[in-house]
Amino acid sequence: MWRDQVPAILYERSMAVFGAALVIDILNSLFELRSTKLDFALLPCFIKGMATTTNVLLRGGRGAVVLGTGGRICVLQRYICWMHTTPTILLLLRLMAPTLGNGQLLWAVAWDEIMLVSGAAATLTKGPVSVILAVVSHLACVPVLLYLHRGLKEASGAIAANAAKSATAVTYYLILVMWLAFGAVWDLGALGWISLETEEALNLVCDFCAKIVFSSSLMLSSFKTVETRREGVMRQIEQGNKQTLVDEMKNIIEQKGRFMSSVSHELRTPLNGIIGISEGMLSGCCGTLPDVVRRQVYIIRTSGARLLALINDVMDAAALRHNRLVLARARVALRALAGDVVDLTRSL
């Protein structure tokens, strides 16, 4: 009897639309087989596949369709489809919003199942029982909408790209309109204000928006969310590597400083001996020296003194790094300085 009220062309068009969307999602999944985005590609495939199967069964007259006690026809096959596809959409949203815990997901799925079961039962019954079940179905929709609101808001905030933010915003308003539209269509059918053909046509339109547009928008947003998270992790890793490199360089510089300080202390002892011996020779402890030898000994003493001064500068630099250097001003005899430079470089 219900086939006489609903033309087959409705299901045929829906089969074509959902079938094409399913093929596209399957092809997209093939490109994500070795990617972290595979889950986001497979879940829309399941959603489109359930919708396509439902329309195939209804078109072939094999779908579950029951006549209620109140004389209203209930397309149970569609409720069965919704009981599988809506939790999948909620799971897809859970993957996009990590702060939504598994407990919140299960709670939302439970309310969704209550909403659908009570809605189907209200269609099959009549009188006060039907009214009570309808009220339960409408109230059960509220926690699911709150879950969707929180998940979509978080997913939108986690996306950096403006285009993806816009897609998520469209998805957010679309899901609110579609869920309200599902309820409105159900209410109009329950009140008898629209025919079964009109109800099925409107349900197919809502199904198209909720399953194709909505799930595809979620998939796009989820791709962007995963990419944003990946970039954030890569930035953290890069910053961590930079900090590790900086720490290693500081450690190397500190080791070099300790090495230079140790070598400088070791060099000062023989240098002081060389300077002392050369000064003793110049003072005549070894007898009178020829002028040529005396001149060479003087250069040795002067060069040793300069090298000692250089070592002292190295040690002063180490003290400067540890904020222990004390500077003192002193006059410099430029004539003597120039003479020392000439003596040092004359033999070169």
Tell me, what CATH number does 219's domain have?
Answer: 1.20.1070.10
Q: With respect to residue 265, please indicate whether it lies within any of the assigned structural domains.
A: no
Q: Within this chain, do residues 319 and 175 fall inside the same structural domain, yes or no?
A: no
pLDDT per residue as tens digits for the range 26-40: 877 777 666 666 666
Q: With respect to residue 282, please indicate whether it lies within any of the assigned structural domains.
A: no
59-73, 139-153, 161-175, 197-211: which range is least confident on average? 161-175
For the cut 50, the answer to whether the pLDDT of residue 160 exceeds it is no
Q: With respect to residue 275, please indicate whether it lies within any of the assigned structural domains.
A: no
Q: Looking at the 3D structure of the chain, how many domains does it have?
A: 2
- d(CA 204, CA 200) in angstroms, rounded, equals 6
Residue whose pair of structure tokens reads 């998270």 in the numeric block: 229
Mean predicted confidence (pLDDT) in 201-212? 80
pLDDT per residue as tens digits for the range 52-98: 899 899 888 888 888 877 777 888 888 999 899 889 888 877 877 77
Q: With respect to residue 127, please indicate whether it lies within any of the assigned structural domains.
A: yes
pLDDT, residue 136, reads: 94
Q: Within this chain, do residues 89 and 231 fall inside the same structural domain, yes or no?
A: yes
- Which of 176, 175, 196 shows the shortest CA–CA distance to 65? 196
User: Of 172, 207, 240, which residue sits at a domain end?
Assistant: 240
pTM above 0.85, yes or no: no
pLDDT, residue 87, reads: 92
Q: Within this chain, do residues 330 and 201 fall inside the same structural domain, yes or no?
A: no
Mean predicted confidence (pLDDT) in 189-200? 85
Q: With respect to residue 259, please indicate whether it lies within any of the assigned structural domains.
A: no
Residue whose pair of structure tokens reads 């933010």 in the numeric block: 165
- 148, 140 Cβ separation under 8 angstroms: no
Q: Within this chain, do residues 236 and 113 fall inside the same structural domain, yes or no?
A: yes
Q: Within this chain, do residues 194 and 314 fall inside the same structural domain, yes or no?
A: no
Q: Within this chain, do residues 305 and 159 fall inside the same structural domain, yes or no?
A: no
Q: Which domain, by its residues, includes 60?
A: 2-240
Q: With respect to residue 245, please indicate whether it lies within any of the assigned structural domains.
A: no
For the cut 80, the answer to whether the pLDDT of residue 324 exceeds it is no
Helices (H), the chain: 2-5, 8-30, 38-59, 76-96, 102-124, 128-157, 162-190, 196-207, 214-283, 291-321, 334-345
Q: Within this chain, do residues 231 and 320 fall inside the same structural domain, yes or no?
A: no
Written as six digits, the tokens of 113 are 């199942």
* The most confident of 105-109, 234-238, 267-271, by mean pLDDT: 105-109
Q: What is the mean pLDDT of the chain?
A: 77
User: Of 209, 240, 271, which residue sits at a domain end?
Assistant: 240
5-9, 62-66, 304-308: which range is least confident on average? 304-308
Classify 160 as helix, strand or coil: coil
Q: With respect to residue 27, please indicate whether it lies within any of the assigned structural domains.
A: yes
Q: Within this chain, do residues 77 and 150 fall inside the same structural domain, yes or no?
A: yes
Tell the burial category of 103 from Cβ atoms under 10 Å away from its Cβ (0-12, 13-18, 19+): exposed
Q: Within this chain, do residues 134 and 65 fall inside the same structural domain, yes or no?
A: yes
From the centroid of its chain, how far is CA 165? 15
Q: Within this chain, do residues 193 and 336 fall inside the same structural domain, yes or no?
A: no
- 304, 271 Cβ separation under 8 angstroms: yes
